[in-house]
Chains A and B, each alone.
Chain A
């Protein structure tokens, strides 16, 4: 029976009403009295010394309040990097400065050189055009191989374009070499993971608002994690202590990773507002977003998989070049390392694994986490090479995967790349997939496609991800410069309603609906009696925000802990009211009872007593009913699943149509099935975009070719088929109180290899000897592969 309330119910989203009526409050909807507007002048050259930046004419233009250049930011901190990698030789990564406005040199198209603050946005734009920049152009380097071999240095002071050379696990290196040398069969695949732009539909916005009367700066910003921005910007950039800095992220129109990072524009608006004593607002245009939002992926990889004569996996070795772009974005170094190398075991019991990653500076926009972050890169290589291996050894790809699955009774399972998977049942998700995708009926559908002149292909793959980021002590050892706990304050009001303040942030995930479902179940009060407050550092406890599918697994766990504290205190109050011992109090459905008696008091009476403590054990207990909990997870969570895709390829044109897609996921327990379905749908569409359409392309001079929606192909409604999603296979997480694993990234991780596997399958069924095509599989690339 589907529930209609609490955990497991598809409660309708309460936030929808404001979004559907135009009453949402996104950052650009905020206008502060007296605000001025910023326009950034950005480099149109990928690599140059700035001979001069002439601002006199611009400063004299109508409405201009001030023109800022790099000189105004001498002595101000640069943008910090939140993760330090130690390389194979024990050396720290190269960590060049990342100024707010360029200091003497620009390193990518879009690097901000100057900023005009004016009375209106149009005046700021006009004046920015009047700034004269004299560039001493330098050769640019875009390609990672050239950057390492001979390229000009992006950062002269680093002395190299190699940010780090990382081995994981370095001690496994020789054993893996030996295992591969001795393997019966080795399958090798070279591939790229295409560069992407996250493209949340809401462009970034920042408003700095300094109040001289209180000396408090407020930053309104489109962020996934306002507390993290406050910490980074306050402590490392502008030296504003936290109690004088408030960061607010109101409704945010999607993030997908790109709104995790601390960006120069946020620091600029905060800084300029303090200088000018005016609120200062910046709203990105979409073309600006393409050259200033951190990009995603951009890996070039060689992977080798060794197998024995029966098809058992023996060893995996990978070599990857990972593009960092021109500067280190906030979490950039973590993505190709601990979010990627640690996932190379996938769902399989491969005993020996070695991952090598070289991170490279180039004259491109910084690259950082994008939905999935490292895990899609790992899954793509692994699942592509397994498909190729299956073909080479003549085994069915599903059978080969099943043969190598970690088995249900092997959990907890420690992989050779340092993770301990707590629980899972990969055969069950594969069984479910075969059922919902009707794999048995594929041949008949392929025959039908053939009659219509199309090549039909089937692609299947599995994925695992590590989410619920993360145990702070563990990530601290691995180089994280922050803790990764989450927080919740549960404030029970005097009349029994509840306000929850959370450090998580919702930018589409529906926390305002799902978090009350959890509390409602625990307290036995209606969901509409519970309200969620998030996104404002002034009224939420310090939390690390929302990314890495962590909100319900970590933030939800904090919420449970805080609510447990509430119940424990409420029991003491109830015990006092019923003149009994707290140990004898039972609490269910909003009623406190004394075990074995008919004595009871209602939730509402206890709440009122807490705030009107006339009859109250004041010598033992404080009045009030409000508790905070910080939850630091014991381990990652490990959602996993199996995906299938059917494509039709037109061999004449190379056009690929996704005609069917099915996903069988294991997310552990599920709070709101409707929302989970939606998360998977969206992830699959983004993965389909990566597989078939999206590509951030630079020419060799460092100009971005795909800098607008005219050239960067986003998935549209007619690119995506109806999606079949199922999450009925559930192996609850063993180490968090809700047994949840997180679902936000699964679709984007699992779908790209599925789609590419399907296209390669279609072509081979058509008699074309194609082993691999690099994403995006545009008609041209497919046609080219066919014609080779």
Chain B
């Protein structure tokens, strides 16, 4: 067993976890944050993307104890009480999700992309999403949603 202290979506957690427990399983099983999904076992699908220390990571590719002392953000923390976050809202507006299984990882990846590059081209969006598989949407509307967030943020910033 390993001791971990971490902050998930602003709430502190301290406790023991099994050494071999993946961060994705820890979030889903121990914290019941089931918004983080597991779509593969090879770090190839991106359904499990969360932010650790402000960076997008595949939570199936690290152990829970490796996040010790870090801040973790998951899809559950992306909306406030009243309304969806702007990326989430854009996903709904643009019909950028169908079954919703890839969606949490997509949203977390999109958030990280826009932090790194507030004004990405379509090609840069597609390139950044390389690690996120979606079997339903054909990506067209996901790219559209992310582009619309970038545009809205830019015009809000300019105003």
Contact = CB atoms under 8 A, between A and B. Distances in A.
B77 to A, nearest CB: 9
Nearest to A256: B135
A285 B41 CA distance: 6
Nearest to A507: B99
A29 B45 CA distance: 18
B65 interface: no
Interface stretch (B51-59, B125-133, B151-159): B125-133
Interface string A9-38: 000110111111111111011010000000
B146 to A, nearest CB: 10
B140 A723 contact: yes
B36 A22 contact: yes
Contacts of B20: 122
Interface string B52-94: 0000000000000000000000111011000010001001110
A203 interface: yes
Nearest to A252: B99
Interface in B16-37: 18, 20, 28-29, 33-37
A786 to B, nearest CB: 27
A708 interface: yes
A678 B95 contact: yes
B54 to A, nearest CB: 19
Contact of A674 (B95, B129, B132): B95
Contact of B84 (A20, A684, A686): A20
Nearest to A510: B98
Contact of B135 (A199, A285, A747): A199
Contacts of B130: 716-718
A682 B79 contact: no
A25 B28 CA distance: 12
B4 to A, nearest CB: 18
A122 B79 CA distance: 34
A685 B143 CA distance: 14
Contacts of A19: 97, 99-100, 103
A201 interface: yes
B38 to A, nearest CB: 8
A286 B39 contact: yes
Contacts of B6: none
Interface string A703-734: 00000111000111110101100000000000
Contacts of A165: none
B136 A508 contact: yes
Given A251-B100, A720-B138, A722-B140, A709 B91 contact: no
Given A16-B97, A20-B91, A674-B95, A201 B42 contact: no
Nearest to B40: A286
A251 B76 CA distance: 17
B100 A15 contact: yes
B149 interface: no
Interface residues of A, number: 58
B49 interface: no
B126 A718 contact: yes
B98 A254 contact: yes
Contacts of A286: 39-42, 45
Interface in A236-265: 251-254, 256
Contacts of B33: 22
B94 to A, nearest CB: 9
Given A202-B37, A254-B135, A685-B138, A21 B99 contact: no
A500 interface: no
A573 interface: no
B34 A200 contact: no
B36 to A, nearest CB: 7
B134 interface: yes
B103 A20 contact: yes
A223 to B, nearest CB: 13
A681 interface: yes
B42 A708 contact: yes
B137 interface: yes
A385 to B, nearest CB: 27
Q: Specify which of B20, B92, B98, B138 lies most central, judged by the most chain A CB atoms within 10 Å of its CB.
A: B138
Contacts of B88: 20-21
Contacts of B75: 20-22
Nearest to B142: A717
Contacts of A722: 122, 140, 143
B98 to A, nearest CB: 4
A254 B133 CA distance: 13
B39 A22 contact: no
Contact of A716 (B37, B100, B133): B133
Contacts of A122: 18, 20
B82 to A, nearest CB: 12
Nearest to A678: B95
A658 B103 CA distance: 25
Contact of A201 (B35, B45, B126, B142): B45
A199 B133 CA distance: 10
B99 A253 contact: yes
B119 interface: no
Contacts of A715: 138
Nearest to A25: B34
B78 A710 contact: no
B133 A17 contact: no
B131 to A, nearest CB: 8
A715 B137 CA distance: 11
B126 A717 contact: yes
B47 interface: yes
Nearest to A688: B138
Contacts of B134: 201, 717
A252 B101 CA distance: 8
B92 A202 contact: no
A253 to B, nearest CB: 3
A746 interface: no
Contacts of A714: 133, 135
B158 to A, nearest CB: 26
B130 to A, nearest CB: 6
A682 B126 CA distance: 16
Contact of A710 (B34, B44, B102): B44
A682 B107 CA distance: 18
Nearest to A12: B92
A414 interface: no
A287 interface: yes
Given A678-B141, A682-B137, A26 B44 contact: no
A509 interface: yes
Interface centre among B20, B75, B123 (most CB of A within 10 A): B75
A511 to B, nearest CB: 12
27 contacts: A20-B75, A20-B92, A20-B107, A22-B36, A22-B74, A23-B35, A28-B34, A28-B38, A201-B136, A253-B100, A254-B98, A286-B42, A507-B99, A677-B141, A678-B98, A682-B135, A682-B136, A684-B138, A708-B40, A708-B42, A709-B133, A710-B44, A716-B129, A717-B134, A718-B127, A720-B139, A722-B143
Given A678-B138, A722-B143, 9 more contacts: A19-B100, A20-B75, A29-B28, A203-B38, A508-B136, A678-B136, A684-B138, A686-B135, A718-B130
Closest 10 CB pairs of A and B: A22-B35, A19-B100, A253-B101, A685-B138, A508-B99, A709-B44, A681-B138, A508-B98, A22-B75, A29-B34
Interface of A: 12-13, 15-26, 28-29, 31, 122, 199-203, 251-254, 256, 285-287, 507-510, 674-675, 677-679, 681-686, 708-710, 714-718, 720, 722-723, 747
Interface of B: 18, 20, 28-29, 33-42, 44-45, 47, 74-76, 78-79, 84, 88, 91-93, 95, 97-104, 107, 122-123, 125-127, 129-130, 132-143
